[in-house]
Amino acid sequence: MPIIKSAKKRLKTSARQTEENRVHRTRARTSIKHIRELLDDGKTAEALAEFPQAQTYIDKAVKTNAMHANAAARQKARLSAALKAAGNKDKTPARVKNQTKQAAAKPAAKKPA
């Protein structure tokens, strides 16, 4: 246990911040899992309806420093890609489709003389 007064205060503050971060991080993770479960069950419309709320929870976690900004961006991008894939008939994310189209559109490389 801390002996110095400022260390005691820091211990209390740290505990309070840890609990606050846990709340935001858990809420964000739960919303992500919920959307993934809806997509697995084939409930795309419900997942689309939940997506804005999940984004809000993720952004709030970033704002309170409970989650790193890049990690949050990655999670939102993956959720978005999963929702787009679920909306398509062939279950392929749009990014993959565009890459294959660009690869097919490129002319063959010239051979050195």
Residue 113 belongs to a domain:
no
Confidence at 112, pLDDT banded by 50, 70, 90: confident
Residue 97 belongs to a domain:
yes
Examine the pLDDT at 111 and tell me if it is beyond 90: no
Examine the pLDDT at 86 and tell me if it is beyond 60: yes
Residue 110 belongs to a domain:
no
Residue 47 belongs to a domain:
yes
Distance CA 98, CA 78 (A): 17
Q: What is the mean pLDDT of residues 51-55?
A: 95
pLDDT tens string 20-36: 999 999 999 999 999 99
Question: Into how many domains does the chain fold?
Answer: 1
- Least confident among 7-11, 20-24, 54-58, 94-98: 94-98
Q: What pLDDT, on the 0 to 100 scale, is given for residue 33? A: 97
Can you give the CATH number for the domain in which 94 is found?
1.20.58.110
- Is 50 within 8 Å of 34 (Cβ atoms)? yes
Range of the domain at 57: 5-105
What are 36's two structure tokens?
């993934």
Q: What are phi and psi of 2, to 5 degrees?
A: -70, 150
Residue 85 belongs to a domain:
yes
Residue 111 belongs to a domain:
no
Q: What pLDDT, on the 0 to 100 scale, is given for residue 1? A: 85
Exposure string for 30-46, b = 16+ CB within 10 A, e = fewer: ebbeebeebbeeeeeee
Exposure string for 61-84, b = 16+ CB within 10 A, e = fewer: bbeeebbeeeebeebbeebeebbe
Residue 13 belongs to a domain:
yes
